[in-house]
A and B are shown apart, each in its own frame.
Chain A
């Protein structure tokens, strides 16, 4: 299994996956930081750590599904393009191990992205001189929530990317997820919780209370039910995808 995982990292060289992750993150972070800076300029009360956690969580709803779709698609597509499935299976590589290796590889890359977001958020807060100590707890919860949602999203993406050769389907799903993730806040809770992409906001450590004339940020306790739902979706998508792909004839 370790050998297969090592091979995945070897095989993604020259796939420019890092470049794409960095580009998307740069756009997202610049957009978020400019938005927060403008907001602070209009209302200095919003110069708090919570603002940056909420903004990045809500923007992750748009960006992370798309980044996840691209990363997973790049990792899976090389097997379709080179017709390498049959070569690997004929070399006695277990399909379930290969599926697991791709999943771990994709999520490890995305975890680096989430960690980079966390670091940039701290740097931004320090530059803006937000009051209070470094919000380690908020940061941990942000990383945990984003990672858990990403695990479920990539499980779904990998299922589609491996089962359907044409990666347009997987990328369209990523874009649809981004749209749902971005507009999740507009849906009623019952509807929103069906869609995994809305969990970036649901599992965020900070929420925003809308009130006239302006709202305020509030630290929220994440409901265990949401965490369990995300875990169940992750396991379901992963197992269903793995079984489906493993049983496909080559």
Chain B
């Protein structure tokens, strides 16, 4: 995977009526990544993506895509970018194929691209049906096919699985996951569903109330979810002293002592020590922080995403 940066924003902000919908966001999307842009509804994801496509003007900040300034090289950047923002865009009175032909004329690409894009999203057998008669999943797939038509270097997808049934979500997920390897496409994908991002993305950015709270690889986010051990003893004060003397670093958590990042052998050793000092160990519990916990901690929202 190359390390060149495909999307880079600096202090990107958008203000509506004195409210910062996007507040000093610094995005870094590397080539070949599937970057998951995660945040609750209304966090500023779509506004950010629209600014990346030049659909709305930033109030402040700069955008560089493919190393070029969006404000100066918008036409050449958009030629290499495919997008699906909010809901899929299509002409309902035209067939799927005719919709693709509209995009083909705009993109100046050969017929084989149309066939290939329809094949990838498995719409080739439905291409002569009017788009308004498509199911929601088929409309979504048509939107993705139109975004894919020119096989762009960057694909921006805003909530691509919105409104799909579980089978449809799985299908779109597998499709998106296959694109970087098969076609060298970098994907910037937004979602409010943590589980979706967890399954697709290689990198993640978490946004809430317009602020980018976390950005890094999926592995680094998962690292945050390391397990902790909770000990409950008959005398926590004594137990703490004994363990501190042996270079363990317990933290008090209610009626328990918490140990982060320790091996199983160390747990056994602590237990032996406490028993030898006549401190009864009544519980040894493993606590694993889920990504959802981390997300809620970061966004500070104990509510539905």
Contacts and interface: CB of A to CB of B under 8 A. Distances in A.
B10 interface: no
Interface residues of B, number: 31
B255 to A, nearest CB: 55
A232 interface: no
Nearest to A11: B91
Interface in A1-19: 3, 6-7, 10-11, 13-15
Interface stretch (B60-68, B71-79, B182-190, B280-288): B71-79
A11 B102 contact: yes
Contacts of A92: 74-75, 78-79, 106
A151 to B, nearest CB: 26
B23 interface: no
5 contacts: A82-B91, A87-B89, A87-B90, A87-B103, A87-B146
B55 A250 contact: yes
A78 B54 CA distance: 22
A93 B54 CA distance: 12
Contacts of B118: none
A90 interface: yes
Interface string A76-89: 00100111111111
Interface string A1-44: 00100110011011100000000000000000000000000000
Contacts of A6: 105
Nearest to B106: A91
A91 B93 contact: no
A86 B91 contact: no
Interface string A54-90: 0000000000000000000000001001111111111
Nearest to B87: A83
Contacts of A250: 50, 55-56
A137 interface: no
A2 to B, nearest CB: 11
B92 A91 contact: no
Contacts of B107: 91
B55 A90 contact: yes
Interface in B82-121: 83, 85-94, 98, 101-103, 105-107
A10 B53 CA distance: 26
